[in-house]
Amino acid sequence: MYSIRDIAGFTDQLVADCGLDTASVFFVDQSAEQARLSYVHHFGVSGEAQHTYAARGVFMADPFARTSTCETQFIRWGDPRIDALADESDDYRAFLAQHDIGVVGALSRRVTSRLSLIVGTHCTSRSPQRPAVPIGLLERRLRDLSDMVVSHLFEDLLTHSAGQIALRSALPCASGRPGAEASLSRRESQIAALICEGKQNKQVAYQLAISEFTVENHLRRMYRKLGIHSRAALVAQLSRQVH
């Protein structure tokens, strides 16, 4: 299993080997009504730039995040797909200018239908005589880095039963595998994951923005589907299925 320290070390070495100035590794989560950003690691990116990019929603206009597809892809700055989107975003271009960020390119990887990994790579204008960035090497290293990050994410999730259930329900291939949770709806899987974390009905209702009565109804339906009669049996059965 790769650790965050491994990921940080690999990123920092990538920056050095490819003649970059900065790099940023982050996830964009679009599972909720409002997209959220989660940073994994930075090299050389100022705290101010990190805050502006996340808190002011600049990441939502980032053309590399908006072009994320089911395939892992590296796109260089200047690619027509990026230019068209960047031209539409004054906020994104102003952000780059304000923080002297010269984008070299970014790798995007769709982890699930609603979660994307982005690794952005940059140079500044302070060193105009630098050698050209070795794009082939950069792309290979970025693909290796994305494998490390996704491996760390899955390993971390799979150490917890609730994370296993949530992951299984999020992946498109989940419904094709036999098991108790395969018969549950998306909402039921969300509730089951929270129950496995030890949350009570009131807490589940609050977190999912539904009524406690609705939670109870979902639980009764889950019990019928799975042929069980208690929360303890629900946790035990789903935990067995994800191991």
Report helix, strand or coil for 62: coil
Domains of the chain, each with CATH number or no CATH: 4-156 (3.30.450.80), 161-242 (1.10.10.10)
Residue 188 · residue 198 · CB < 8 Å: no
Distance CA 228, CA 31 (A): 30
Terminal Cα distance for the chain, rounded:
17
157: DSSP letter? H
Q: Quick one: DSSP state of residue 133? A: P
Neighbours of 94 (CB within 10 A): 12
One digit per residue, pLDDT tens: the chain, 243 residues?
Answer: 688 899 999 999 999 999 999 999 999 988 777 888 999 999 999 999 999 999 999 999 999 988 877 678 999 999 998 888 888 889 999 999 999 999 999 999 988 778 899 999 999 876 566 678 999 999 999 999 999 998 888 777 656 555 555 555 555 444 444 445 557 787 888 888 888 878 899 998 988 889 999 999 999 998 988 888 888 888 777 765 544
List Cα–Cα distances, 104 to 21, 22, 51, 152, 207, in angstroms. 10, 10, 21, 26, 40
pLDDT of residue 227: 85
* pLDDT at residue 108, as a whole number: 94
Query: For residue 86, what pLDDT is reported?
Result: 85
Q: Is 108 helix (H, G, I), strand (E, B) or coil?
A: strand
The residue assigned the tokens 């990116």 is: 45
What is residue 172's predicted lDDT score, i.e. its pLDDT? 46
Judge if pTM exceeds 0.85. Answer: no
Helix (H, G, I), strand (E, B) or coil at 221: helix
